[in-house]
């Protein structure tokens, strides 16, 4: 964290077609943030707007809502529930009002992570030359889900690792290093708004399980199912290399291939992590239920 920042185009800095793609991505996916992966990929040619354009029709469907809901149920680790963090949080002066804020953030993250897992899987399969949609017999006549953030979804603030306290920076570095990530995910940057919660989550909820064999097996299962859902999308939702070459250089395509692979694993990890945080606070059923079910 002390070194240079990982190149990305943050939401507030995005302009033109990239900005409208970010806004449309949030509206269609009904989430309050743009994934780190997209912000990083935005550095490379015109990939993000073109890839989002390929994805948007398929992602504005109830099929994706249902696929995301199913993936969330697979993100629970086998074995016992994590220890209840509330007694320790309470001793640290972290009260119910604070917890309510954390819960609201977790609901937004748990709603969105599985959608971004589907999106990055489509992009990852596409850039590796594999099928990324078009195999499904989708009922196109089914009404599209509403666009824009669900009622009651919290806005999310991502803490800037370069503009926070050394203690928070250290927690973010710890979160990255325990996962072998190259930097803090959006999810951990959100949790960094509540450093006491983040510390307890890392110590007691995530530390004991991250990158354990059951964690790897859960990630593998999620990945396999996400790929199946992606193949069933109504249309190809990613770009094959030749399509990417229309908007990027060859070297860009190589960079994008690497970053998509890295961020796919990244999103698998944070999907499992945030579900586990919700499970620790409110139990398994609450953790896997859709926080914002589409009627």
Total residues contacting its own copies (rule CB under 8 A)?
45
Smallest gap, in angstroms, from Cβ of residue 105 to its own copies?
A: 26
Q: What is the DSSP string of the chain?
A: --SPPPP---GGG--HHHHHHHHHHHHHHT-SS--HHHHHHTTSTTHHHHHHHHHHHHHSSHHHHHHHHHHHHT-SPSSSPPPP-HHHHHHTT--HHHHHHHHHHHHHHHHHHHHHHHHHHHHHHHHTTS--S------TTSPPPPPSPPTTPPP-----GGGS-HHHHHHHHHHHHHHT-SS--HHHHHHTTSHHHHHHIIIIIITTTTTSHHHHHHHHHHHHHHHHHHHTSSS--S--HHHHTTTS-HHHHHHHHHHHHHHHHHHHHHHHHHHHHHHHHH-HHHHHS-SS---
Interface characters, 32-71, with its own copies (x: CB under 8 A): --------x--xx---------------------------
- Residues 204-233 contacting its own copies, CB under 8 A: 211, 213, 216-217, 219-220, 223-224
Binding-site member from 12, 80, 96, 242 for its own copies (CB under 8 A): 242
| Min dist. Cβ of residue 52 to its own copies (A) | 19
Return the residue of 130, 152, 155, 167 that touches its own copies, per CB under 8 A: 130
Spell out, one character per residue from 246 to 265, where the chain touches its own copies: x when CB under 8 A holds, - when not: ----xx-xxxxxxxxxxx-x
Q: Which two tokens stand for residue 217?
A: 């097996």
Rule CB under 8 A: choose which of 129, 148, 162, 293 binds its own copies. 129
Q: Give least dist CB 218 to its own copies, A.
A: 10
Stretch that binds its own copies, among 89-97, 98-106, 164-172, 245-253 (CB under 8 A): 245-253
CA distances from 257 to 69, 148, 233 (A): 27, 30, 21
Nearer to its own copies, 183 or 195 (CB): 183
CB of 154 to its own copies, least distance (A): 30
> Contact region for its own copies (CB under 8 A) — 9-17, 66-74, 175-183, 273-281?
175-183
* Interaction of residue 293 with its own copies, rule CB under 8 A: no
Greatest Cα-to-Cα distance within the chain, rounded to the nearest angstrom: 57
| 240, 282, 286, 294: residue in contact with its own copies (rule CB under 8 A) | 240
How far apart, in Å, are the Cα atoms of 26 and each of 32, 212, 271?
6, 33, 18
Nearer of residues 144 and 180 to its own copies, judged by Cβ: 180
Smallest distance, its own copies to C-beta of residue 182, A: 4
Site residues (vs its own copies, CB under 8 A): 1-4, 6-7, 40, 43-44, 127-130, 176-177, 180-183, 211, 213, 216-217, 219-220, 223-224, 240-242, 245, 250-251, 253-263, 265
């Amino acid at each position: 964290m002390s070194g240079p920042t990982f190149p990305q185009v943050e939401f507030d800095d995005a302009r033109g077609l990239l900005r409208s793609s970010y806004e449309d991505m949030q509206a269609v996916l009904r989430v309050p943030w743009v994934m780190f992966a997209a912000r990083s990929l935005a550095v490379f040619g015109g990939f993000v707007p073109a890839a989002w354009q390929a994805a948007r029709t398929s992602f504005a469907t109830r099929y994706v809502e249902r696929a995301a809901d199913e993936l969330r149920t697979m993100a629970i680790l086998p074995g016992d529930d994590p220890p209840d963090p509330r007694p320790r949080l309470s001793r640290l002066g972290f009260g119910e009002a604070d917890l309510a804020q954390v819960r609201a953030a977790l609901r937004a993250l748990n709603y969105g992570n599985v959608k971004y897992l589907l999106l990055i899987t489509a992009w990852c399969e596409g850039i590796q030359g594999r099928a990324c949609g078009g195999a499904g017999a989708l009922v196109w006549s089914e009404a599209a889900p509403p666009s824009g953030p669900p009622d009651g979804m919290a806005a999310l603030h991502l803490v800037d690792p370069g503009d926070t306290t050394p203690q928070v920076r250290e927690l973010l570095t710890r979160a990255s290093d325990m996962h072998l990530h190259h930097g803090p995910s959006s999810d951990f940057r959100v949790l960094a708004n509540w450093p006491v919660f983040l510390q307890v989550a890392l110590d007691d909820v995530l530390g004991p399980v991250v990158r354990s064999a059951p964690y790897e097996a859960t990630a593998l299962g999620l990945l396999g199912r996400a790929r199946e859902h992606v193949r069933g999308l109504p249309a190809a939702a990613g770009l094959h290399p030749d399509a990417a070459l229309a908007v990027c250089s060859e070297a860009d395509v190589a960079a994008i291939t690497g970053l998509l692979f890295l961020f796919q694993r990244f999103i698998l990890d944070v999907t499992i992590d945030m579900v586990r945080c919700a499970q620790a606070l409110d139990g398994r059923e609450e953790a896997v239920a859709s926080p914002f079910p589409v009627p």
